[in-house]
Amino acid sequence: MAKKGSGGLKLQFLGATETVTGSKFLLYNASAKFMIDCGLFQGFKELRLRNWAPLPVPVVDINSVVITHAHIDHSGYFPVFVKQGFRGRAYASAPTVELCKILLPDSGFLQEEDAVFATKKGFSKHAPALPLYTYSDAVASLKYLAPIPNGKPFDLGHGIKVKLIPAGHILGARFVHVTSTIPSNRTILFAGDIGRYDDIISKAPSTVKEIDYLVMESTYGDKMHPEEDVFSRLEKIINKTVERGGKVLIPAFAVGRTQEIIYIIKKLQAKKRIPSDIPVYLNTPMGIDATQIYRKYADEENFFKHGIDEDSFQLPNLHLVHTQEESKSLNLLAGPAIILSASGMMTGGRILHHLKAYGPDAKSTLVLVGFQAAGTRGRNILDGTRSIKIHGQPIALNCDVEFIDSISAHGDYEDIMQWLSLFNRPPKTTFLVHGEEKATAALAERVREKFHWNVVVPKYLDEVELK
Ligand SMILES: [Zn+2]
């Protein structure tokens, strides 16, 4: 561990250690402090409580922030930063900045909703319960967030330059390549979330040849995405449910997953593999906005695969659901329908109302299409729970439950091993973060065994000197 005040370049892990959420890495030298990613902890209560704990350094002492991508577990703590007095700049790719403009205010809105709920139920020791930050706090934080170009070194001052490199994963996702010249030259790559080599819509993660220190995710460190044809899988699920006259409920992350599902449905309809007259409801205002941003950046050739264009995320039978009234009316639909709604792990949002309405319906199908973090309702359902509580009310899930694991935006361990195999030399140290304990340990073992690299699995608040 680093000695305080020794003047070298240091790295402290303020999140995403032994868990997948709360990515926050403090990089500092004698004259300045930088934060790479500014993510919110999600899932278990003891993790969420860390969102309330003071950081080891006052935020006013942090010079700048660089965000790898817009997902809340990488960006959602930034409004707290600004609320606590951060007046530096946060930088990210242009699409990430745009996506944050919808994700962060929504996160503030959800914090407020949670606080109202906690007050009603008397969960909180505060009366009334306080939100971590509000919608307005999040909106106010956005003016401190600025885009920086791709692939060009950007000077943060104090001997630190950063370069953003396309990472796959979701629109705008980047690796943050840091060059530090104080006290001497070294490079660090914060890999954020790493995409896949066989993603449906996005290109493979960029190849990195060499780096002194690597901070890397391990979400799927012990898993391989099943080799299945996701088009056929969704085709079968939709046709089976439609024949029964049921609803296909898809809780989907507003950014990334929603657009992929629309793209898959579009392809299936075009090939007449599913009926094209079944209404598809996109019931997430944030998902609607994110889809607009995906369309706007459809020519981002460093993210999208060849053949993807604006039209790829549009359907003739797609209904955009804006108001709560329209959302409620979906619970009274007579015929079959496909409903895409948020949140992706069913921790909140409009999907819960649909789950209440159609979860008990044996004709309907709930399709989980993304990673479900431990402690969330989605994970409990995935693990076999068929009686869940929504808004304090017990709900029996008689609907079919399907899990399509193969459309993850994260590389599995084979993707990651492939990405690592393209390095010309081993990093001095590879720090494994952003994984549940078992996944991280499995990947650490694999990397040590195959490449003989020096792999470290840091713990919460661990601090190291990057010599
Ligand atoms: Zn992500």
Q: Answer yes or no: is pLDDT of 5 > 70.
A: no
- Contact between 39 and 73 (Cβ < 8 Å): yes
Mean pLDDT of the 296-316 span: 91
Instruction: Quick: pLDDT tens for 254-290.
Output: 889 999 999 999 999 999 999 999 999 999 999 999 9
Instruction: Quick: pLDDT tens for 381-395.
Output: 999 999 999 988 999
Q: Answer yes or no: is pLDDT of 309 > 70.
A: yes
CATH of region 230-407, choose from 3.40.50.2000, 3.40.30.10, 3.40.50.10890, 3.40.50.2030? 3.40.50.10890
- CA of 38 from ligand 1 middle (Å) equals 12
Contacts of 268 (CB under 8 A, 6+ apart): 231, 234, 235, 238, 274
- Contact between 399 and 366 (Cβ < 8 Å): yes
- Contact between 245 and 302 (Cβ < 8 Å): no
- CA of 114 from ligand 1 middle (Å) equals 23
Instruction: Quick: pLDDT tens for 410-427.
Output: 889 999 999 999 999 999
- Contact between 249 and 355 (Cβ < 8 Å): yes
- Beta strands at 64-66 and 160-166: parallel, antiparallel or unpaired: unpaired
- Contact between 338 and 221 (Cβ < 8 Å): no
Q: How far is CA 342 from CA 56, 106, 347, 373, 405, in A?
A: 34, 11, 9, 15, 18
Give the helix, strand, coil percentages of the chain, each rounded to 5.
Answer: 35, 20, 45
Q: Answer yes or no: is pLDDT of 120 > 80.
A: no
User: Is the pTM above the cut of 0.75?
Assistant: yes
Contacts of 422 (CB under 8 A, 6+ apart): 207, 208, 209
Domain boundaries, the chain: 10-223+409-465, 230-407
Residue 172, both tokens: 């705008």
- CA of 193 from ligand 1 middle (Å) equals 5
Instruction: Quick: pLDDT tens for 143-198.
Output: 999 999 999 999 999 999 999 999 999 999 999 999 999 888 999 999 999 999 99
Q: Which residues surround ligand 1, an ion (CB under 5 A)?
A: 71, 193
- CA of 264 from ligand 1 middle (Å) equals 20
Architecture of domain 10-223+409-465: 4-Layer Sandwich (3.60)
- As a residue count, the chain comes to 467
Residue 327, preceding peptide bond in cis (omega within 30° of 0) = no
pLDDT of residue 273: 98
In the numeric block, the tokens 């008990």 are attached to 360
- Contact between 256 and 369 (Cβ < 8 Å): no
Residue 363, both tokens: 């004709």
Angle, helices 94-121 vs 285-296, to 10°: value is 180
- Contact between 129 and 152 (Cβ < 8 Å): no
Q: How far is CA 266 from CA 269, 272, 317, 325, in A?
A: 5, 10, 10, 27
Q: What is the C-alpha separation between 260 and 367, in angstroms, rounded?
A: 14
Q: Answer yes or no: is pLDDT of 8 > 60.
A: yes
Q: Answer yes or no: is pLDDT of 2 > 60.
A: no
Consecutive H or E run containing 367: strand 365-368
- CA of 259 from ligand 1 middle (Å) equals 15
Q: What is the C-alpha separation between 262 and 310, in angstroms, rounded?
A: 12
Q: Answer yes or no: is pLDDT of 226 > 50.
A: yes
Consecutive H or E run containing 118: helix 94-121
Selection from 219, 162, 218, 150 nearest residue 189 by Cα: 162
**What integer best gives the mean pLDDT of the chain?**
93
Mean pLDDT of the 294-316 span: 91
- CA of 331 from ligand 1 middle (Å) equals 31
Q: Which amino acid is at 342?
A: A
- CA of 75 from ligand 1 middle (Å) equals 10
Selection from 78, 44, 118, 97 nearest residue 374 by Cα: 44
Band of residue 371 on the pLDDT scale cut at 50, 70, 90: confident
H helices, E strands: number in the chain? 13, 22
Q: Answer yes or no: is pLDDT of 380 > 90.
A: yes
Q: Answer yes or no: is pLDDT of 110 > 90.
A: no
- CA of 358 from ligand 1 middle (Å) equals 29
pLDDT of residue 339: 98
Residue 285, preceding peptide bond in cis (omega within 30° of 0) = no
Residue 405, both tokens: 């694991």
Band of residue 3 on the pLDDT scale cut at 50, 70, 90: very low
Selection from 71, 73, 68, 69 nearest residue 22 by Cα: 73
Band of residue 122 on the pLDDT scale cut at 50, 70, 90: low
Q: Answer yes or no: is pLDDT of 43 > 80.
A: no
- Contact between 188 and 200 (Cβ < 8 Å): no
Residue 178, both tokens: 């840091």
Mean pLDDT of the 101-126 span: 82
Max CA pair span of the chain: 69
Q: What is the C-alpha separation between 40 and 435, in angstroms, rounded?
A: 15
Residue 149, preceding peptide bond in cis (omega within 30° of 0) = no
- CA of 71 from ligand 1 middle (Å) equals 5
pLDDT of residue 137: 97
SS3 for 395-447 is EECCCEEEECHHHCCCCCHHHHHHHHHCCCCCCCEEEEECCCHHHHHHHHHHH
- Contact between 39 and 15 (Cβ < 8 Å): yes
Q: What is the C-alpha separation between 369 and 253, in angstroms, rounded?
A: 9
Mean pLDDT of the 121-146 span: 86
- Contact between 202 and 325 (Cβ < 8 Å): no
- CA of 169 from ligand 1 middle (Å) equals 7
Q: Answer yes or no: is pLDDT of 4 > 70.
A: no
pLDDT of residue 375: 86
- CA of 240 from ligand 1 middle (Å) equals 31
Q: What is the C-alpha separation between 344 and 370, in angstroms, rounded?
A: 7
Selection from 344, 257, 287 nearest residue 99 by Cα: 287
Mean pLDDT of the 323-338 span: 96
> 393 has which bridge partners?
390
Q: Answer yes or no: is pLDDT of 299 > 80.
A: yes
